[in-house]
Structure 1
């Protein structure tokens, strides 16, 4: 929705409902009231989605910002748009990285790096080149320009052209400049190029390398590749400390959420038909589970802090 189409009264109504759902103890009445309001008018749903997307700009305190909008009936249009992070051209994805980086001493390269479950860390590679590691990632830098990814995910932001070589169990990726995300989970490597120069990759049993350009993403193993697809900026929301979903099947969302949580999270397969849309802070997975239960027809059973079952209500 463009700013000149935003009905601020509906935005405030949506914020009021969202603040209730994001309270410490949302009730089923709150959930029913929210669903009823969204279904009553297509413009209500547009306002809700507009607010959901704008959460990417709320920093570390989305609930507080939503409550500010919800409380005020006298805010100017300009003030509301400012709080929501809207530009004259509409919504935009938040740039910048999470502020609570744990940065080691500035070094030309790092030997062995690892992140714990739920941990996101950043390392400077030079004055302007940066490496950000996602949860449960094991990475080594044998040399200044070489990476070996055993498992997990990392993001490279390379402003100054530098010849980097990245190795995984599946093959080798050559990268020089731009923004690149590499993920190796479930025995497959996924490469997403968001900007900069073309990237070359080759599986260990492939005969010829493959080139992908900015805006493209591909998965590969030692022998085969998937079809090239468009990059999805939602997949790197973790760089800003967010888990971003847009009509994501609930089972897929829970799978992603489980990467940031110690223990086991099981979800009933039939819940795949439910979809999740929103921007969630990955530093509080308990709160995310509460938000899901408040907004979807599901039950969250926490048998222990390390064992959670998600079932239909």
Structure 2
């Protein structure tokens, strides 16, 4: 099915009422979500009608839609009539090519829209998500709290049997609350990940998805209070119970041996990037998760080591500090293209 939608009947009238100008990033994100939905391969007549109503509701909506359509056609980011089920069958290499194209797509739009460059496009339709550099706490219906890290996405499903949070991208910190239904009807609190199922046992813990969930990247779990029961993907019984003060990595080969929770793995929950003799290349890659655009580290300086605690709310300042503490210089081509090179 072709995902194009006829322009609303009163588009000309709406456009005259609102002259072209900068668009709200939230409206741009909404247009992107409509674009993804209509090209998902699963959109029906109701989805197309709903999109038409959204476009018709405000001239800014239509402007954002047209911009998204033009960019997708220019860069081939979302080919008409090609849904994600088809793309998924083409293999990992082609999916990566599509994501590279989407990066170009993001680079062509305003700064606010660049905040979504780290988000896998399947996660755009998640229940809750954050942009690059954003952290946000959710209060769930049962009183539990979930803190979303930069470029993170989750789905939330509560029913009569289970309280479930599915991590689609990024990282979360979870503080569980007792089930308000009472002890006799208490539902388990579960975090579903690409590598398995995490059942909270009165718990504070963090979960980070490495890479993309659909490619089953590694999942890092760290427990600071209580315990977490880990059941690996496709397993019928729990693999281990991870107690407070321990962390592990879940991968295709199973769960790594538990080890003490590191300060570095928990620092993001306080808005800090903590480095303890970290390679500069790894530091730049981690900093880039919190900054729209690209942070490139030249191979000549990638092996330099850095230590310290850096506030993530001001990544410009963090970059400026590199040149004062290491033999490097920071070259800024634009706000969204920064290179760390030999000094």
Choose from 303, 319, 327 the match for 1:273.
303
Equivalent-residue separation in structure 2 for 1:169 and 1:224 (angstroms): 12
Equivalent-residue separation in structure 2 for 1:189 and 1:271 (angstroms): 29
CA contact (8 A) 2:138 2:147 kept: yes
The secondary structure found in structure 1 opposite 2:301 is helix
Deviation, 1:169, is: 1.8
Choose from 157, 160, 182 the match for 2:175.
157
Gaps of 5+ in 2: 1-125, 180-186, 212-216
1:147 aligns with 2:165: yes
Task: After superposition, give the CA deviation of every residue in 1:127-175 in whole Å (9 maximum; x if it has no partner).
Answer: 8632111000010102261011111000012354773111112221111
Q: CA RMSD in A?
A: 2.1
Q: Which residue does the alignment assign to 2:134? A: 119
Choose from 312, 318, 340 the match for 1:282.
312
Deviation, 1:117, is: 0.4
Deviation, 1:195, is: 1.5
Q: Which residue does the alignment assign to 1:131? A: 146
The structure with the largest alpha-carbon Rg is 2
CA contact (8 A) 1:206 1:222 kept: no
Deviation, 1:266, is: 1.3
TM-score, normalised to structure 1, is: 0.60
1:141/1:222 Cα in 2 relative to 1: closer, same or farther (>3 Å)? farther
Choose from 315, 322, 330 the match for 1:300.
330
Equivalent-residue separation in structure 1 for 2:144 and 2:167 (angstroms): 18
Equivalent-residue separation in structure 1 for 2:337 and 2:208 (angstroms): 26
Deviation, 1:240, is: 1.6
- Count of matched residue positions in the alignment of Structure 1 and Structure 2: 202
Larger relative contact order (CA 8 Å, sep ≥ 6): 1
Q: Which residue does the alignment assign to 2:259? A: 229
Deviation, 1:307, is: 1.2
1:208/1:172 Cα in 2 relative to 1: closer, same or farther (>3 Å)? same
1:271/1:130 Cα in 2 relative to 1: closer, same or farther (>3 Å)? same
Equivalent-residue separation in structure 2 for 1:127 and 1:166 (angstroms): 15
Task: After superposition, give the CA deviation of every residue in 1:207-254 in whole Å (9 maximum; x if it has no partner).
Answer: 642221111111112442223221113322222221122222211111
1:181 aligns with 2:211: no
Q: Which residue does the alignment assign to 2:223? A: 193
Task: After superposition, give the CA deviation of every residue in 1:103-126 in whole Å (9 maximum; x if it has no partner).
Answer: xxxxxxxx8100000000011236
Equivalent-residue separation in structure 2 for 1:120 and 1:164 (angstroms): 22
